[in-house]
Amino acid sequence: MTRDVVLCECFARDGLQHEARFIATPAKVGLIQRFADLGFDRVEATSYSNPSVVPQFADASELLAGLPRRAGVWYKATCANVRAVERALHDLDAGHGANEISLLVSASESHSLRNLKRSRRDQWDNIAAMARRAAGRFRMVGTISVAFGCPFEGAVDAARVLDNARRFAELGVDLVTLGDTTGMASPPAVRNLYRTLQLEFPQMTLVAHFHDTRGTGLVNYVAALDAGVRYFDSAFGGVGGHPDKVKYGGGHTGNVATEDLVSLFESMGVRTGLDLAGLPAVSRLCQEALGRELHSRVAAAGLNPLLGPGVAP
């Protein structure tokens, strides 16, 4: 399908990590398959997390075993350490599993210690070990959390973000994501940082990942688009944002809702390559899976009717 941007659907990983209630594995598999049916060629499927820390992903290998491979679809799994990469390799050797893995670093020392339980120096040693163990078997995605501001330290120096991007590039990471972990970014900051990164690392594929904590997610995505970014993360219903046991951000910390982002981009003439007619049904399935109304305006009001026939809820 023709597309101008590549969206990664994050409901099944970044979305569900926030949920205290375990979602049954077949339900997760069914949703991920529906995401691929809609035309998402990148889907966050799961995380090789310690089940005692994030119980939602205790079924990571079982879930991935239930996902048939699809040509052109990248299923991403988050890896926290070398042991997680070894689990991903084991699944890959078994003929299933993720073909894309995510490696995470924080742009601030305080967030690294709180969220990753390691200093930034120790985390970079950990990431280097993971990249070596992956041995080129996966497409690697490097994520820089709190890239636009830290809830514990405040402003984050752009030079530190650039240094993180350089380190990822040296490790052979293909995509680098800037995470606005608690919704502190503004459009000018977004444009400036992404343009600087593109000048410094023209070979790098940059990804935007904004949270809608303060209602600024959509405008920041437009700013990233204006800066030349073409890869974006979102989650149906705006769910997720941080593990259920970690509380920071001052309220709603979820992702930007996929429904809202798709409606906005398509209304701007930016082609997402997704099946718009099928989008509302999948949105409803996500709400049914969690048993509550989610944070999406478009889920309630429908896609922009000016997009044409066949897009009404």
Q: What is the pLDDT of residue 272?
A: 98
Q: What is the pLDDT of residue 310?
A: 58
Which residues sit opposite 210 in a β-bridge? 180
**Can you say whether residue 68 is alpha, beta or left, with left for phi > 0 and alpha for psi between -120 and 50 degrees?**
beta
**Confidence at 311, pLDDT banded by 50, 70, 90:** low
Looking at every residue in the chain, the average pLDDT score rounds to 93
Check: CB of residue 194 under 8 Å from CB of residue 227: yes
For 76, which DSSP code?
E
Of 60, 65, 67, which is closest to residue 36 (Cα–Cα)?
67
Instruction: Give the pair of three-digit tokens for residue 278.
Output: 């099928």
**For the ranges 140-154, 202-216, 271-285, 298-312, which has the lowest average pLDDT?**
298-312
Check: CB of residue 146 under 8 Å from CB of residue 115: no
More reliable by pLDDT, 21 or 308: 21
Q: What is the pLDDT of residue 53?
A: 86
Q: The tokens 């752009």 sit on which residue?
A: 158
Cα–Cα separations (whole angstroms), residue 56 to 18, 44, 226, 285: 9, 14, 36, 18
Check: CB of residue 64 under 8 Å from CB of residue 77: yes
Q: What is the pLDDT of residue 249?
A: 44
pLDDT at position 97 over 90: no
CATH assignment of 6-301, among 3.20.20.70, 3.30.70.141, 3.40.50.300, 3.40.50.410: 3.20.20.70
Q: Delimit the domains of the chain by residue range.
A: 6-301
CA dist., res. 44 & res. 206, Å (int):
17
Q: What is the pLDDT of residue 121?
A: 97
Q: Mapping DSSP to helix (H, G, I), strand (E, B) and coil, where does residue 306 land? A: helix
CA 95 to chain centre: 24
Q: What is the pLDDT of residue 222?
A: 98
Radius of gyration of the chain (CA): 18
Report the relative pairing of strands 74-79 and 42-48 from DSSP bridges. parallel
Helix, strand, coil percentages in the chain from 3-state DSSP, rounded to 5: 45, 15, 40
CA dist., res. 233 & res. 42, Å (int):
9
**Confidence at 309, pLDDT banded by 50, 70, 90:** low
CA 128 to chain centre: 21
203: number of Cβ within 10 Å? 7
Question: pTM score > 0.85 for this model?
Answer: yes
Q: What is the pLDDT of residue 163?
A: 98
Q: Mapping DSSP to helix (H, G, I), strand (E, B) and coil, where does residue 24 land? A: coil
Q: The tokens 């950990």 sit on which residue?
A: 126
Q: What is the pLDDT of residue 195?
A: 98
CA dist., res. 176 & res. 205, Å (int):
6
- The tens digit of pLDDT for each residue in 189-218 reads 999 999 999 999 999 999 999 999 889 999
Percent of the chain with pLDDT over 90: 84
CA dist., res. 19 & res. 292, Å (int):
12
CA dist., res. 4 & res. 266, Å (int):
10
Q: What is the pLDDT of residue 312?
A: 53
- The tens digit of pLDDT for each residue in 229-284 reads 999 999 999 998 765 455 544 445 689 999 999 999 999 999 999 999 999 999 99
Percent of the chain with pLDDT over 70: 94
Start-end of H helices in the chain: 25-38, 60-65, 82-93, 109-111, 120-134, 158-170, 187-200, 217-226, 258-267, 279-290, 297-301
